[in-house]
Amino acid sequence: MKKTLYTAMMLTAFAAGTSVAQTAVTDNVKFSKVSKPVPAQAARGDRPAGSFYHTQFTGVAWGDCDNDGFMDLYYSDVDTHVSSSSIQSSLYLNSGDGTFARMNVAPFRATAFSCPVWTDINNDGLLDMVLVGIADYGYGWDNDKTRLDKIVARVYINKGIGADGKIAFEEMAETGLRPLFNGRNGGKGHNWVSAGDYDNDGYVDLVMTGFDEAARMVSDEPEEAVRAVYLYRNIGGERFELQELPLGDAPFHGLTDGSVEFCDLDGDGRLDLLSTGYGSTRASETHIYWNNGDGTFTEDTANEFIDVTDASCTVYDLDNDGLADLVMPGKYFNTGAKQFNLYRNMGGRKFEKVESAAFEGIDGAQISVGDVNHDGWPDILVGGHGASHEHTTWLYVNGGDMTFKSYGAHYDDLFGKTGHFSRVTHGAQQLVDYDNDGFLDAWLSGWSNGGCTSGCLAELYHNDSASKGATANAAPSAPSGLSARVDDAARTVELTWNPATDDVTPATALRYNVYIRRKGSEEVSMTVPADLATGFVKVAKVSGEVRGCVYKARLAASGDYEWGVQAIDNANAGGAFATGSFTATLSGIDGVETDGAALGLDMIDGILSYRLDGDGLLEIFAPDGHAALSQPVSGNGSIVPAFATGVYVARLTAGSETATLKIVVK
């Protein structure tokens, strides 16, 4: 077994005061920079041998793409030690011994300024890749000569390990995604694509923000950038469909230079949306959209926030009360004032600003949250360009009750005795247990000050807090008391369970991951990608999780189902799945007649979905027999018709084949 080497530089956190009685100690944090994480990598310029390829302005994605139980790593950007313009695509497979191997030929086409996301798009238990960004490092708007083909939105389906023993991916031919990018340099957020099942239909959906240059090209005012926040519904794991009016009668507010995040903010079992950035108002904006449960959202108007841009914002339950709080760094565009604000979730869809002097205002912020010292409180790793300190990485250690102490910043180590994190901003910071030792390690990459003459860096820090008295994290227990209540008329199932327990994360703060599988099917719908046998959570950045002990899912067909639920703690460790079963007859809709096997209709939660090969005609007949709707359709899609009380008939026709669906509205 290979031995992982660490530099002598250590990061040690020392308590600077007393915390409230119920909090754990805050003096047991220690990190060591891994010196040769990629043993086979040769030196290049002042990039040392054994290092990761350097990078600057891009996001990264940690996930177990080969299902071996260890986190792999992907990112794509220019490494100026190789070329100042050629984009490098880097997939690092985790060897399981603390080291990594870079694939000689990456399975994904090079894409700069990107936000790569691992998620299971087609419910086959394998992590797929969503990769949106720019394929030409020198791209720029050039009026009618603009190379729109250089802005890309690609999806790669994981095909598993091939006969040659190597992992293989296949690019999806038609994704349905509009190509976007979220800025080319500066302090842009790199959390601008988020995955989660917002309509609870068992397939992971996407939301993304950025510039839509194709829409700009055909607009009446092409000199004005077109800013967007696009919501995409996953159609059966085969493609995505843009939801043009997610507010029912309007799109989301278009933004750029910010971030988006799916999260259940009000605890109703449905994913809401946080969106930040620069908008058409010529100012920074913040929007929360509440999920209505019918495929649409309602914009929040009750809360006031200090709006930010040029940073990634995130959500996490920082005070362990079971409600997701808001972490919002960045600058107000019009004044340039740098901020770092927390908003406590008070319940009832109300947020309250936390007054804290612990955080330095920054732009270029990239954030990751998790419990690094096993005291039950989630800590914050963030890099940014500070109001007082440029190019800095901070670890804010949580002392409970929304109190934090900064450690690891370069200015805390004036005499070089304890060391500090490298000075990195504008790239990616991620907490990830890459060696499965029960401690969250730290990844840093981006625009650097020191450590690299070219101003780019990519480093991994091992969490050595055990040497300071911290104990390794243990996964939560399996939930108990599982129950399923099927509503055949509504074509839904409500799943409930009793809270799990954990060694340090309070029961109120545990998050949950639910899976549902129709018996005999190989497809498994899951809110967070995880291993059914071990409970191992396959992604470092968890999104789409369930908060609370109730989850209401939509069902596509009658039959016997099995389901399970696991708890996830503040160190992102997943416990064992508890399992149950239920039977659904879906008697609320009186039959579906399908004359053609290639055609299909389905009505769930007010959303009428259709599927066909090629082109066809969709019609809806009202109770009095007249055609309330008649429109050409193609491929797979959905609509949200407005129904009054009565019995309707939907008919899908393609050539000589038809599919009909009777819909009873009570």
Q: What is the pLDDT of residues 33-80, one digit of tens each?
A: 999 999 999 999 889 999 999 998 999 999 999 999 999 999 999 998
Cα radius of gyration (the chain): 25
| CA–CA dist 504, 523 (Å, integer) | 34
| CA–CA dist 367, 353 (Å, integer) | 19
Q: What is the pLDDT of residues 343-361, one digit of tens each?
A: 999 999 999 999 988 999 9
Residue type, 600: G
Beta strands 151-161 and 325-331 are unpaired
Q: What is the pLDDT of residues 484-524, one digit of tens each?
A: 999 998 889 999 999 999 999 999 999 999 999 999 899 99
Q: How confident is the model at residue 183 (pLDDT cuts 50, 70, 90)?
A: confident
| CA–CA dist 370, 314 (Å, integer) | 12
Indicate the fold that domain 31-468 takes in CATH. Answer: Neuraminidase (2.120.10)
Instruction: Using alpha carbons, list the distances in angstroms from residue 90 to 60, 76, 102, 182, 456.
Output: 10, 6, 7, 21, 15
Structure tokens at 148: 């729109």
> Can you give the length of the chain in residues?
666
How high is the mean pLDDT of the chain? 90
CATH of domain 480-584: 2.60.40.10
Does the pLDDT value for residue 415 go beyond 80?
Answer: no
Residues contacting 351, CB < 8 A, separation 6+ = 303, 305, 325, 326, 343, 344, 345
Domains 480-584 and 600-665 in one fold = yes
Does the pLDDT value for residue 607 go beyond 90?
Answer: no
| CA–CA dist 339, 328 (Å, integer) | 8
Q: How confident is the model at residue 586 (pLDDT cuts 50, 70, 90)?
A: confident
Q: How confident is the model at residue 259 (pLDDT cuts 50, 70, 90)?
A: very high
414-418: average pLDDT: 58
Does the pLDDT value for residue 137 go beyond 80?
Answer: yes
Q: Which residues pair with 75 in a beta bridge?
A: 90
Does the pLDDT value for residue 427 go beyond 50?
Answer: yes
8-17, 437-446, 547-556: least confidently modelled range? 8-17
Quick one: pLDDT at residue 21? 35
Quick one: pLDDT at residue 360? 95
The H or E element that residue 665 is part of is strand 657-665
Structure tokens at 371: 């419990």
CA-angle at 655, arms to 651 and 658, nearest 5°: 30
* CB 323, CB 345: distance < 8 Å: yes
288-313: average pLDDT: 96
| CA–CA dist 566, 484 (Å, integer) | 15
| CA–CA dist 610, 607 (Å, integer) | 10
HEC readout, 230-290: EEEEEECCCEEEECCCCCCCCCCCCEEEEEEEEECCCCCCCCEEEEEEEECCCCEEEEEEE
Q: How confident is the model at residue 186 (pLDDT cuts 50, 70, 90)?
A: low
Edge to edge, what strands does the sheet with 550-554 contain? 480-487, 492-498, 550-554
Q: How confident is the model at residue 248 (pLDDT cuts 50, 70, 90)?
A: very high
Portion of the chain with pLDDT greater than 90, in percent: 71
Quick one: pLDDT at residue 608? 86
Indicate the fold that domain 600-665 takes in CATH. Answer: Immunoglobulin-like (2.60.40)
Residues contacting 252, CB < 8 A, separation 6+ = 229, 230, 231, 246, 273, 275, 287, 289, 297
Edge to edge, what strands does the sheet with 239-242 contain? 193-196, 205-211, 227-235, 239-242
105-129: average pLDDT: 96
The H or E element that residue 51 is part of is none
Q: Which residues pair with 169 in a beta bridge?
A: 158
Q: What is the pLDDT of residues 366-397, one digit of tens each?
A: 999 999 999 999 999 999 999 999 999 999 99
Please, what sign has the CA dihedral across residues 367, 368, 374, 375?
positive
Task: Output phi, psi for 177, to 5 deg.
Answer: -90, 140
Does the pLDDT value for residue 25 go beyond 70?
Answer: no
* CB 57, CB 184: distance < 8 Å: yes
187-191, 225-229, 366-370: least confidently modelled range? 187-191
Residues contacting 450, CB < 8 A, separation 6+ = 391, 422, 423
Does the pLDDT value for residue 17 go beyond 60?
Answer: no
Return the exposure string of 57-72: e unless at least 16 CB atoms fall within 10 Å of the residue's CB, then b: bbbbbbbbbbbeebbb
Cα 74 → chain centroid = 15
| CA–CA dist 431, 463 (Å, integer) | 10
Residues contacting 117, CB < 8 A, separation 6+ = 61, 129, 130, 131, 193, 194, 195, 206
287-299: average pLDDT: 97
Does the pLDDT value for residue 10 go beyond 50?
Answer: no
| CA–CA dist 659, 653 (Å, integer) | 7
Q: How confident is the model at residue 606 (pLDDT cuts 50, 70, 90)?
A: confident
Quick one: pLDDT at residue 200? 97
Quick one: pLDDT at residue 60? 96
Quick one: pLDDT at residue 595? 38
Residues contacting 123, CB < 8 A, separation 6+ = 202, 203, 237, 523, 524, 525, 526
Which residue is it, tokens 């107000």? 332
Task: Output phi, psi for 550, to 5 deg.
Answer: -140, 135
Q: How confident is the model at residue 4 (pLDDT cuts 50, 70, 90)?
A: very low
Domain ranges of the chain: 31-468, 480-584, 600-665
Structure tokens at 193: 């694509």
Q: How many CA atoms lie within 13 A of 183 on its CB side?
A: 26
